[in-house]
């Protein structure tokens, strides 16, 4: 035991770097360090790798319960797939194949009647647009002050950081319009009050970069989970599964990581690559610096529950409507999955429930929640009666090792928290999707993993 002052228990490993979390962020960090000759160990809580990448391989075409689309500008993700010999298939055309119906207040409103419909609360100059996020994003694009996405973290962007609510109010949106067109099937945050408009400026500038590079929505053949699985295979027995970390003890000589099963692991450096909320369950000795501890404690995560539905018969051929529907019910936005190889056939429906309605469903339990989602859909579409059954249910908020889908920034948090979340403390470095400066989603996870690996390499 080289590290006096730490555990007297037998240490299971003594390596250069321990990485906590075998999502693509942690695996990318571990792979880069491994390539440079460092001895690494990845400690993962679950019995599988991949974290927020979860492909439902028991359903046709292995639809994604977690991270879905790999976009044009995902340099790190695409490069890693190429190096590992993984095939990427483009679903962009199929993604836009359905024109969703508008279902509000218990009725499906024909598109031809939408513009002048009394339930259309869009601002008067936007009445002809589809309700919800797409219309909101057009306003963001119109007023986006960022020249490039990464400008969001520049000091002079701080002045743009206000709530979505105050941004929309400044641009003349009514309460009813905000409730219908921002807070229904909410894109980010859980209300217009708790979401920063700066995240949207960033998001839309970043989206543009993605499509400017190449307008694609790629998925890994066999499911996106194949990517972390192949990365993990390369790392061999450096990966330790089913080992939730509960305690990290660090001093000037090294780091000791303790797991719930009592195993103890030592290393010279540590990379924490868990999502932000599960990080709260790890006890750090000594405690994290107060500004970082505050960020870890307060940064919220987006709430999303996905319910996959099997379809017994294509009932939309009977009622002549699209299988996809944008609803103001607890069933959220329902899309048609087209996952079959070489065919555009509908392979199932997917209800994406976002924000507060997920809490109602999650509190009911999966069986009752699934039944409610189907009942809401059937109420709107009598032809669907008896035609749907739940194929899979995934609440990301209830997943103890995710506790949400991705970090969401409240007004004021970006400039206060992000610099803290990427700063090493002693021998501990931080990765994970939330610790990225210039990307989102899977690419953000890899960007953060790469940064943390380079920081540690410079110290080995």
Ligand X SMILES: Cc1cc2nc3c(=O)[nH]c(=O)nc-3n(C[C@H](O)[C@H](O)[C@H](O)COP(=O)(O)OP(=O)(O)OC[C@H]3O[C@@H](n4cnc5c(N)ncnc54)[C@H](O)[C@@H]3O)c2cc1C
Smallest gap from residue 173 Cβ to ligand X (A):
27
Query: Which residue in the set 16, 17, 31, 44 belongs to the binding site for ligand X (CB under 6 A)?
Result: 44
For 105, how many CA atoms within 13 A lie in the half-sphere containing its CB? 7
Q: Taking CB under 6 A as the rule, does residue 348 contact ligand X? A: no
Q: At CA 427, angle to CA 425 and CA 428, rounded to 5? A: 60
Distance between CA atoms of 116 and 317, rounded to whole angstroms?
27
Q: Which two tokens stand for residue 208?
A: 């543009």
CB of 83 to ligand X, least distance (A): 18
State the Cα angle at 18 between 16 and 24, rounded to 5°. 125
Could you say which of 309, 402, 414, 452 contacts ligand X (CB under 6 A)? 402
Q: Is 405 in the site for ligand X (CB under 6 A)?
A: yes
Nearest-angstrom CA–CA distance, 279 and 296: 7
Which residues, in sequence order, are CB contacts of 62 under 8 Å at separation 6+? Answer: 55, 56, 222, 223, 339
Is the CB of 216 or the CB of 414 nearer to ligand X? 216
Interface with ligand X (CB under 6 A), residue from 6, 11, 24, 407: 24
- What does the DSSP 8-state code read for residue 407? B
Write the DSSP symbol of residue 156: G
Q: Please, what is the Cα angle at 372 between 371 and 375, to 5 degrees?
A: 85
Which strand (E) or helix (H) includes residue 233? helix 226-235
Query: Please, which residue, 185 or 405, has the CB nearer to ligand X?
Result: 405
Q: Contacting ligand X (CB under 6 A), which of 173, 201, 206, 396?
A: 396
Query: Residue 441, interface with ligand X (CB under 6 A)?
Result: yes
Q: Binding marks (x or -) toward ligand X, 230..259, rule CB under 6 A? A: --------------xx--------------
Among 206, 269, 406, 409, binds ligand X (CB under 6 A): 406
Q: How far is CA 430 from CA 6, 11, 17, 435, 453, in A?
A: 22, 23, 12, 7, 9
Rounded to whole angstroms, the Cα distance separating 76 from 168 reads 35
**Smaller CB separation from ligand X, 18 or 168:** 18
| 32 versus 43: smaller Cβ distance to ligand X | 43
DSSP 64: B
Q: Does 339 bind ligand X (CB under 6 A)?
A: no
The piece of 7-15, 67-75, 201-209, 326-334 that touches ligand X (CB under 6 A) is 67-75
Residue-by-residue DSSP string for 46-57: SSSS-TT--B-T
Report if residue 68 touches ligand X, rule: CB under 6 A. yes
Q: Least separation, in Å, of the C-beta of 379 and ligand X?
A: 26
Is 20 a residue that touches ligand X (CB under 6 A)? yes
CA-to-CA dists, residue 319 to 94, 110, 306, 381, angstroms: 22, 13, 25, 8
CB 51, min distance to ligand X, A:
2
Q: Which of 69, 347, 397, 425 binds ligand X (CB under 6 A)?
A: 69
Among 3, 18, 19, 25, binds ligand X (CB under 6 A): 25
User: What is residue 250's three-state secondary structure?
Assistant: strand
Which is closer to ligand X, CB of 69 or CB of 267? Answer: 69
Instruction: Please count the residues of this chain forming the interface with ligand X, following the rule CB under 6 A.
Output: 37
Rule CB under 6 A: say whether 66 interacts with ligand X.
Answer: yes
Residue facing ligand X at closest CB distance: 23
> Where do contacts with ligand X occur on this chain (CB under 6 A)?
20-26, 43-46, 51-53, 66-69, 244-245, 273-275, 278, 282, 304, 396, 401-402, 405-406, 432-433, 441-442, 444-445
């Amino acid at each position: 035991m080289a590290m006096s002052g730490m555990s007297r228990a037998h240490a299971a490993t003594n390596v250069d770097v321990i990485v906590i979390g075998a999502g693509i962020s942690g695996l990318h960090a571990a792979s880069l360090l491994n390539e440079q000759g460092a001895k690494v160990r990845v400690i993962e809580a679950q019995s599988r790798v991949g974290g927020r990448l979860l492909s439902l391989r028991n359903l046709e075409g292995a639809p994604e319960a977690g991270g879905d689309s790999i976009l044009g500008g995902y340099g790190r993700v695409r490069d890693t797939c190429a190096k590992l010999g993984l095939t990427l298939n483009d679903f962009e055309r199929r993604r836009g194949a359905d024109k969703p119906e508008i279902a509000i207040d218990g009725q499906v409103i024909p598109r031809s009647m939408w513009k002048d419909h009394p339930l259309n609360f869009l601002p008067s100059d936007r009445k002809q647009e589809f309700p919800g996020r797409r219309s909101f994003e057009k306003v963001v694009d119109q007023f986006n002050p960022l020249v490039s996405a990464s400008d969001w973290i520049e000091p002079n962007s701080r002045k743009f950081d206000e709530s979505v609510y105050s941004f929309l109010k400044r641009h003349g949106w009514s309460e009813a319009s905000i409730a219908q067109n921002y807070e229904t099937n909410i894109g980010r945050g859980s209300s217009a009050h708790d979401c920063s408009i700066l995240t949207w400026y960033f998001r839309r500038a970043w989206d543009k970069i993605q499509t400017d590079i190449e307008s694609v929505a790629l998925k890994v053949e066999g499911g996106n989970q194949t990517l972390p699985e192949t990365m993990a295979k390369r790392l061999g027995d450096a990966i330790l599964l089913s080992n939730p970390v509960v305690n990290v003890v660090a001093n000037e000589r090294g780091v000791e990581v303790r797991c719930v099963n009592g195993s103890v692991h030592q290393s010279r450096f540590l990379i924490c690559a868990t999502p932000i909320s599960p990080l709260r369950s790890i006890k750090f000795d000594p405690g994290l610096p107060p500004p970082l501890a505050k960020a870890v404690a307060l940064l919220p995560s987006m709430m999303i529950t996905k319910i996959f539905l099997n379809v017994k018969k294509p009932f939309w051929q009977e009622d002549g409507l699209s299988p996809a529907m944008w609803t103001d019910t607890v069933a959220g936005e329902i899309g048609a999955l087209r996952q079959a190889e070489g065919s555009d056939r509908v392979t199932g429906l997917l209800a994406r429930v976002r924000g507060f309605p997920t809490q109602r469903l999650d509190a009911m339990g999966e069986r009752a929640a699934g039944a409610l989602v189907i009942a809401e859909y059937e109420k709107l579409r009598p032809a669907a009666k008896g035609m749907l059954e739940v194929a899979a249910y995934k609440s990301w908020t209830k997943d103890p090792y995710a506790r949400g889908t991705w970090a969401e920034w409240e007004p004021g948090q970006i400039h206060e928290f992000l610099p803290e979340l990427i700063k090493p403390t002693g021998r501990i470095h931080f990765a994970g999707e939330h610790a990225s400066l210039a990307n989102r989603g899977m690419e953000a996870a890899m960007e953060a993993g790469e940064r943390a690996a380079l920081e540690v390499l410079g110290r080995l």
